[in-house]
Structure 1
Amino acid sequence: PDSSDSDLELSSVRHQPEGLDQLQALTKFTKKELQSLYRGFKNECPSGLVDEDTFKLIYAQFFPQGDASMYAHFLFNAFDVDRNGAISFEDFVVGLSVLLRGTVHEKLNWAFNLYDINKDGYITKEEMLAIMKSIYDMMGRYTYPIVRDDAPVEHVEKFFQKMDRNRDGVVTIEEFLETCQKDENIMSSMQLFENVI
């Protein structure tokens, strides 16, 4: 066989997902669910890995009325835990498990990681604004109620002031968890975020 065939075999061997048992232990999915998720994943990404461009394409189909590319970029980075520029099936199901079945605490940890764009352990106002803007862009002009251009900025001002309890200009994971769990409003905005996934 020519080399491209054997390369293909190699890459599919390389990205065989961890044993189902192991994935089952890492996630809150049943074996059956994992199998059907894997079939869907392989269908979309025969190589077993999703790069950022593919991820953006998949996302664009869900939000034809807006521009999802920036949000997809942030989301991709949140799923790509080992920072290797690709999302494997493991990365995907572990993230999905948290988002769909995780405890409030796990979901908030995941959200914090999404908002902490440079992964330094703090959320800055700029980071929060970048994420909010990307969500507004993705929802497009048809968001109801009609969204004004300055809405994300106001949103962030309000959130950030509530979250930055010691007023040092950054939000720590502790501040984030505490505020979100105390504040119904913020919690429901986080739910909005869940529907976006």
Structure 2
Amino acid sequence: MGNSKSGALSKELLEDLKSNTKYNEAELCVWYQSFLKECPTGRITKEQFEGIYASFFPNADPTEYARHVFRSFDTNADGQLDFKEYIVALHLTSGGKTLQKLEWAFALYDVDGNGTISKNEIQEIVKSIFNMIPEEDQNDLPEDENTPDKRADKVWDFFGKKEDDKIAEREFIQGVMDNKDILRLIQYDEPQKIKDKLKEKKQ
């Protein structure tokens, strides 16, 4: 997509990203130069992506979560992200419009890609989120959500599902939009220090 190996973004890709992300032209150009510096081939591998996440969480283990995030954005399943996929990933994981973000969240939780979410998939993603939360911060969580299983149960109970039921995309998105508490439970809120590091990457 675009001039992934050249020193400048194609006009078409630039306009596409300006229209579909929160970044302006100057920011996108800086991101692109930074991307090429770290990934001269114009593509980022799963291992490189995990390495970037690891640098943001020196006191935790983001490997599993990074793997799931990578999967959700590797739309053609080739094991790499091009610049467009990378920027969309940054946009949606650090902001993005609510509907866009929830569509991505559904893709994140739909681990096997079959179009529905099971309780096991909820548990798998929630566990990967907990791996990124320092132990001292986990101790401050409410009693009914201070373990991965408790948090997954709380999400599942909200949807009123039996153990073997599934959640479809429309039901998932509507349910989360109707309850901000569930939105908080299904996502990882980046600490300010992580957001600051993202800003540093652009400079």
**TM-score (norm. length: structure 1):** 0.80
Aligned partners of 2:174, 2:16: CA distance in 1, in Å? 32
1:35-74 correspondence to structure 2 within 5 Å:
35-74=29-68
Q: Deviation per CA, 1:107-151, whole angstroms, max 9, x where unpaired? A: 111111111111111111111111111111122423242579971
Specify which of 16, 23, 36 is matched with residue 17 of structure 2. 23
**Counterpart of 2:188 in structure 1: which amino acid?**
F
Aligned partners of 1:98, 1:71: CA distance in 2, in Å? 15
Structure 1 vs Structure 2 CA RMSD: 2.8
Specify which of 5, 27, 36 is matched with residue 12 of structure 1. 5
Gaps of 5+ in 1: 1-10
Residue identity over aligned pairs, in percent, reads 30
**Counterpart of 1:178 in structure 2: which amino acid?**
Q
The SS at the match of 1:50 is strand
Partner of 2:174: 178
Aligned partners of 2:160, 2:115: CA distance in 1, in Å? 14
TM-superposed deviation, 1:166: 8.3
Dislocated runs of 4+, deviation >4 Å: 146-150, 164-168
1:44-193 correspondence to structure 2 within 5 Å:
44-145=38-139, 151-164=147-160, 169-190=165-186, 192-193=187-188
Q: Deviation per CA, 1:28-79, whole angstroms, max 9, x where unpaired? A: 4221121011122122222211111111111111111111111111011012
Aligned partners of 1:101, 1:155: CA distance in 2, in Å? 23
**TM-score (norm. length: structure 2):** 0.78
The SS at the match of 1:81 is coil
Change (3 A) 1:21 1:118: same
Aligned partners of 1:164, 1:173: CA distance in 2, in Å? 15
- Please state which structure has a larger fraction of its residues in helix: 1
Is 2:21–2:96's contact at 8 Å kept on the other side of the alignment?
A: no
